Amino acid sequence: MRGPHRRGRFGEFGGRFVPEALVPACEELEAAFAVAWADPTFRARLDDLLEHYGGRPTPVTECGRLGERLGIRLLLKREDLAHTGSHKLNNVIGQALLAERMGKRRLIAETGAGQHGVAAATAAALLGLECLVYMGAVDVERQGLNVFRMELLGAQVRAVDSGSRTLKDAINEALRDWVATVETTHYCIGSVMGPHPYPYMVREFQRVIGDEARAQCYEMLGFDPDVVVACVGGGSNAAGTFAGFVDTHARLVGVEAAGGAAMSNGVAGVVHGMRSRFLQDEAGQILEAQSISAGLDYPGIGPEHAHLGTVGRAEYPSAGDSEVLAAFRLLAETEGIIPALEPAHGLAWIIREAGKSIPEGSAVLLTLSGRGDKDVALVRKLMQ
């Protein structure tokens, strides 16, 4: 995928809609990222940490039993096996190194499921940075174990009690913090969202998923997959995955939660620093997303996805809670892998479409963006 156009635009989407106080910091970050990304020393340090600390490259696993059942070849890109249990580490290691380069020793982050918060806390511990994580009060409750993890890692977690008390409000609160502390603080955004350069920068930090998977799939299959699937909250694991396949013939599919389907049900708007698509009412008030998966509980989507969907290069269907739970259980039973609820959305879509819009015998790659440990307590409750 290409870089954004003038002023951080992907087509009509993107941009930098932030309070004046933050404009210089976004410009500084844009410049620092451009220099670092072209600097072999920075890249070598990042690659080294991703390999020896993060456990990269993550494998691609072919699911024989489940694939047979569905009549397709099903491959999983195993981000669940990366350190901290999700793809989020790829991005935070990059941003933490960048913060260090910019002389900013305090990180703030928002988190939904807690995976980005845990990853940010981890990177902060690794580099000796201070870390404060904003998390909606609802999410603090449903992802209690991750709160404790962040605290063990030396981060402070602040529950956000405003608005819908989920991810969108955690982002609001992190932005408010940043407006006051921007001179000493780096806002480590957890997905391909926010003002330019975040959507572009986070996608570049996550493209390691797609670049690795492209080579791994080719080695296993002898050709590129026919369908490439990832779940979409803000869209970082999907953007990183798609980056590796956008120039192939693969059908690119980003699966949203039915209750947070910004592509199906949202309209163009400007929130959280970016022009994209958002669930909103007639007046422009943002609506609350609703999903069993805290990581997909976001009423918007990253601007590059809004663009890819608009021009038709990728498609963005959604999956509902009950088919997601069924997919979650099926992967555990047939393959011995307990997925996070987020990528279980991708699997639910594959199960629904196999033999329909996914022709029999197709090779399908799903990015398994995280492991399910954080969700088992919730799933247990839902099953009872």
Ligand X SMILES: Cc1ncc(COP(=O)(O)O)c(C=O)c1O
Is residue 236 within the footprint of ligand X (CB under 6 A)? yes
What angle, rounded to 10 degrees, do the helices at 88-101 and 40-52 form?
A: 140
DSSP state of 20: G
Query: How does DSSP assign 206-226, residue by residue?
Result: HHHHHHHHHHHHHHHHSS--S
Is residue 143 within the footprint of ligand X (CB under 6 A)? no
Judged by beta carbon, residue 143 or residue 362, the one nearer ligand X is 143
Stretch near ligand X under the rule CB under 6 A, chosen from 6-14, 139-147, 320-328, 337-345: 337-345
- Whole-angstrom Cα distance, residue 313 to residue 195? 23
Whether residue 63 lies in the annotated active site = yes
- Written as one letter, the residue type at 281 is D
**Residue 208: count of CB within 10 angstroms of its CB:** 24
Residues 283-302: x where in contact with ligand X by CB under 6 A, - otherwise, as a string: ------------xx------
- Whole-angstrom Cα distance, residue 343 to residue 326? 13
Is residue 243 within the footprint of ligand X (CB under 6 A)? no
Given a contact cutoff of 8 angstroms between Cβ atoms, the answer to whether 13 and 274 are in contact is: yes
Q: Dihedral (C-alpha) 196, 199, 205, 206: value to the nearest 10 degrees?
A: 180
Judged by beta carbon, residue 197 or residue 362, the one nearer ligand X is 197
Count the site residues for another protein by CB under 8 A.
Answer: 38
> Quick one: tokens of 155?
């981060």
Whether residue 87 lies in the annotated active site = yes
Q: Which of residues 19-78 bind another protein (CB under 8 A)?
A: 19-21, 23-25
Is residue 233 within the footprint of ligand X (CB under 6 A)? yes
- Whole-angstrom Cα distance, residue 353 to residue 183? 49
Residue 226 interacting partner from ligand X, another protein, none (CB closer than 5 to 8 Å by kind): none
Question: Which of 26, 52, 63, 186 is flagged as catalytic?
Answer: 63
Residues 22-51: x where in contact with ligand X by CB under 6 A, - otherwise, as a string: ------------------------------
Helix intervals (H) in 132-254: 137-142, 144-152, 167-181, 198-221, 236-243
Question: Which of 26, 87, 305, 307 is flagged as catalytic?
Answer: 87
Cα Rg of the chain (Å, integer): 19
* Residue ranges that bind another protein, judged by CB under 8 A: 7, 15-21, 23-25, 162-163, 168-169, 172, 175-176, 179-183, 267-273, 275, 278, 280, 282-286
- Chain residues binding ligand X by CB under 6 A are 86, 112-113, 115-116, 191, 231-238, 295-296, 340, 342-343, 369-370
- Residues assigned a catalytic role: 63, 87
